[in-house]
Structure 1
Amino acid sequence: MSGWRAAVRARGRPDLPRRDGPRARVLTEEDVAEALRVCALDPVTAVLAASRLELAARAGLAAAGGQAWGFPAQGPLQAVCWSGANLVPVVPGTVAGSDAEDAIEAFAGLARVQGRRSSSIVGERTAALALWKHLSSVWPAAREVRDDQPSLAIDRDPDVAPDPQVRRAALDDLDVVLPACVRMFAEEVGYAPVATPGSAYALRVRSLVAEGRAFVHLEPRGRAVPAPVVSRGPLVAFKAELGAVAGGVAQVQGVWVAPALRGRGLAAPGMAAVVTAARRDVAPVVSLYVNAYNAPALATYRRVGFEQVGTFATVLF
């Protein structure tokens, strides 16, 4: 992590940020507009945090499901961090050198006091990995560190013709969409989420469908899959969701093609359809991030017209 100097800490409790410089503060609803202005300096990188802050601006921080932290403790905000299901540091490129280091160290101090409540640290690579470096000695061990995730974006029509069979999922599709989401999650993260009725994951999927942010290509099961499958209803051949929307950016998450249909060229036209619909109806810029080792996915996204605009990292617990 070049560019980040080792932290110099004051004597005393190790769970507090250092005392010889500005520290972070927990933001109130009066600070949300200013926090969003910080996110607007790099809307693609900040979309995960900005989506929660925009919800806080509409319905209050309690409804957004977490805390917003700001740096420095006094004066205009330079950096922010969302602490909820994910811990998401946002340190714009305008904050450099020791100021950037101080921001991350200050956020780490608040995270130590709060304790680990998030399932991941995710965000711009340098900031996310620096935050984890500060926390790794006091938080439980990470299950996995994904330290090279190209951040891709497109702000124009895709280079591939959209799949005409991709459409927004309807609530009537939940019986097939939710199991597909669970399979995708298990493949991507390594374990299946609890998706019983009323669970947080099931409610999240239902919310995305209800908001028109879930896209599917359904196929009749008998025609799509030659192997015997004991299940009713159609098969989700392709799916994707707009998992975070804020600041003129729609971030695509949960891209998945049914295993039995992989290799048939569904992903690129499916993504093109998602990009077309999202840019028309939701946001002018569509983004996503993907593991660098996933060469087939990277090739697909680049074929659609996505270009790399940065690099993310994710620490999974």
Structure 2
Amino acid sequence: MATTRVLTPADLPAALEVLDRNPIENAFVAARVAVAGLDAWRLGGEMWGFFEHGRLEALCYSGANLVPLSTSPAAVQAFADRARKQGRRCSSIVGPAEAIAELWSLLEPHWGSAREVRARQPLMATWEPSREIAPDPRVRRVRRDEMDLLLPACVAMFTEEVGVSPLAGDGGLLYRARVAELVTSGRAFARFEGDKVVFKAEIGAATERACQIQGVWVAPEFRGRGHSESGMATVVDAALREVAPVVSLYVNDYNAVARAAYRRVGFTEIGAFMSVLF
């Protein structure tokens, strides 16, 4: 018999076991759970659990993003039913491509069209420092007093990547807090030329098993000079040395330039994500 319900702190050991099955794919949610547990207020959303014969088999994080994890077709159906009854509260659906494609096929008739669907975003990973690309010695951790220099680059990257400004709605309070958190925790990296950010990237999610790089961006006037490759080599080296034994990221399949750069740094494709943006 299968059931679905909102998990509570008492379910944490079972949830961690599910998250640990795919530490690379699940890094985003696993990192949040490692800090906040399963308390909805601290987690920033509910964690739904799919049970078969009393055993927790799959998860779905329901917050600003809807993220199904370690799902079977039956779990996807169950999560879709719950999401449909609840109504759309998320700004995106993100996760392993096969599960997201099935989930979206069940939700779209009820939720309506998305602003954009990115059907295949290769998931890439590396377990060792770059053998081909030398790290950029000028890429370093961003200091707290450089927040105001970094923030415009973060906003530019987000707007370019997602298609909307992160400053909309609350005037950017939540987004600025997130950038500040990354800077304070030492997970924001950049190369500066005076007061100008040339390259930037962040280790956005981190657990003991895996971490995920996000927000890779090069200022338009500096593109085509190899900054993304040498900058990423620096960030990968620091992440492997200080954070986790594997570094991952996901990228749009149509971004051939970025995919080629990541391959030169040493990343290989290990799967694919899919994103539905509202």
1:110 aligns with 2:82: yes
Matched residue, 2:259: 298
- The structure that has the greater radius of gyration is 1
The residue type paired with residue 206 of structure 1 is: A
The residue type paired with residue 279 of structure 1 is: L
Q: How far did residue 61 of structure 1 move?
A: 3.5
The residue type paired with residue 222 of structure 2 is: L
Q: How far did residue 23 of structure 1 move?
A: 3.0
Matched residue, 1:32: 12
Aligned mates of 1:54, 1:69 — CA distance in 2: 16
Identity %: 51
Q: Could you say what secondary structure the match of 1:107 adopts?
A: helix
Q: 2:143 aligns with which of 170, 178, 182?
A: 170
Tell me the number of residue pairs that the alignment of Structure 1 and Structure 2 aligns.
276
Matched residue, 2:27: 47
Indicate if the aligned counterparts of 2:208 and 2:243 stay in contact, CA closer than 8 A. no
Aligned mates of 2:84, 2:144 — CA distance in 1: 40
1:244 aligns with 2:182: no
**Runs (4+) off by over 6 Å:** 195-198
Q: How far did residue 121 of structure 1 move?
A: 0.5
Indicate if the aligned counterparts of 2:118 and 2:274 stay in contact, CA closer than 8 A. yes
Q: Per-residue CA shift, 1:50-106, capped at 9, x if unaligned?
A: 12221223x8442111111111265111111111111111126xxxxxxx1110011
- For 1:192-271, list aligned pairs within 5 A: 192-194=165-167, 199-220=173-194, 234-271=195-232
Unmatched tracts of structure 2, length 5 or more? none
Matched residue, 2:121: 149
Q: 1:179 aligns with which of 140, 152, 166?
A: 152
TM-score calculated relative to the size of structure 2: 0.95
Aligned mates of 1:120, 1:267 — CA distance in 2: 27
Aligned mates of 1:268, 1:156 — CA distance in 2: 15
Aligned mates of 1:85, 1:316 — CA distance in 2: 11
- For 1:71-82, list aligned pairs within 5 A: 71-72=50-51, 75-82=54-61
Aligned mates of 1:204, 1:198 — CA distance in 2: 10
Q: Which is richer in strand? A: 2
Q: Could you say what secondary structure the match of 1:148 adopts?
A: strand
Indicate if the aligned counterparts of 1:23 and 1:102 stay in contact, CA closer than 8 A. no
Q: Could you say what secondary structure the match of 1:162 adopts?
A: coil
Matched residue, 1:65: 44
Indicate if the aligned counterparts of 1:43 and 1:247 stay in contact, CA closer than 8 A. no
Unmatched tracts of structure 1, length 5 or more? 1-20, 93-99, 221-233
**Cα distance change, pair 89–81 in 1 and its aligned pair in 2 (3 A):** same
Matched residue, 1:132: 104
Indicate if the aligned counterparts of 1:50 and 1:247 stay in contact, CA closer than 8 A. no
Q: CA RMSD in A?
A: 1.6
Indicate if the aligned counterparts of 2:8 and 2:39 stay in contact, CA closer than 8 A. no
